[in-house]
Amino acid sequence: MTTNKKCLLVAVCAAAALIVAAVSWADADKPSKDSSAANAKAEAEILSVLEDMSNDRRYAMWNITTEEGRLLWVLTAAADAKHVVEIGTSNGYSALWFCLALRTTGGKLTTHEIDPYRISMARKNFKNAGVSHLVTIVEGDAHKTVTRLKEPIDVLFIDADKAGYFDYLKKLLPLVRPGGLILAHNTTDLASEMQDYLKAVTNNPDLETIFLHKEAGGISVTLKKRR
């Protein structure tokens, strides 16, 4: 083979290798069929447990509504939250809505509950939904246990003793990252029990608060402003 032919062959081989590499890089960005199917399956598993829980109203678990749950999912995913803190786990219904978002953001949930029976139900529901690895349940009086939290919080959800909301806010606001959200449940139907909290989130110039779902229990959504 002449030198010219050899050079041509080397150039053709190099070009072919480049094309193969470019195609595989482009493919690497696309989710494979397998991973999309696995994601859809994991999501369906959580939604199915949520549906069973909605159908099972034999025990009063004081859960949020389905619509409120969807709001938690959307806000948590949009905030790309890595750490959600919940006060008031009950049987894990609202926690599972957070998990729908957290499994896609690579985040985790720390949830606080005082009642051992509800904790055992929540554990069972997390296991059935395949999300136990995303959730840490902190047992005990949350007014005490939240003081152990040290990591930044992207989304804080308060849904426990209504008169205690202001205390939870005082203790956890410093950990909420600028741009993070503080959500509180029952801000319409039980507003009279949390007047100090409502004043704090509407009068503080570092916070911006809107009130949603006023026709049901009500949820306040508070942004900790970036300064």
Q: Which residues bind ligand SAM (CB under 6 A)?
A: 62-64, 88, 90, 93-94, 112-115, 118, 141-143, 159-161, 164
Query: Measured from the CB atom, is 95 or 223 closer to ligand SAM?
Result: 95
Minimum distance, C-beta of residue 182 to ligand SAM, in the bound complex (Å): 15
Return the axis-axis angle of helices 116-129 and 93-105, rounded to nearest 10°: 40
How far is the CA of 143 from the CAs of 86, 114, 123, in angstroms? Answer: 12, 10, 22
Partners of 108 in the β-ladder = 83
As a whole number of angstroms, the distance between CA 120 and CA 24 comes to 47
Minimum distance, C-beta of residue 85 to ligand SAM, in the bound complex (Å): 12
Handedness of CA 151, 45, 118, 53 (dihedral sign): positive
Query: Measured from the CB atom, is 143 or 171 closer to ligand SAM?
Result: 143
Q: What element of type H or E holds 153?
A: strand 153-158
Query: Measured from the CB atom, is 86 or 154 closer to ligand SAM?
Result: 86
Task: Give the other-Cβ count within 10 Å of 57's Cβ.
Answer: 9
Minimum distance, C-beta of residue 42 to ligand SAM, in the bound complex (Å): 20
Q: Which residues, at least 6 apart from 126, have a Cβ–Cβ distance to it below 8 Å? A: 92, 95, 96, 99, 132, 135
Minimum distance, C-beta of residue 76 to ligand SAM, in the bound complex (Å): 14
Query: Measured from the CB atom, is 108 or 118 closer to ligand SAM?
Result: 118
* DSSP letter assigned to residue 173: G
Query: Measured from the CB atom, is 193 or 204 closer to ligand SAM?
Result: 193
Minimum distance, C-beta of residue 142 to ligand SAM, in the bound complex (Å): 3
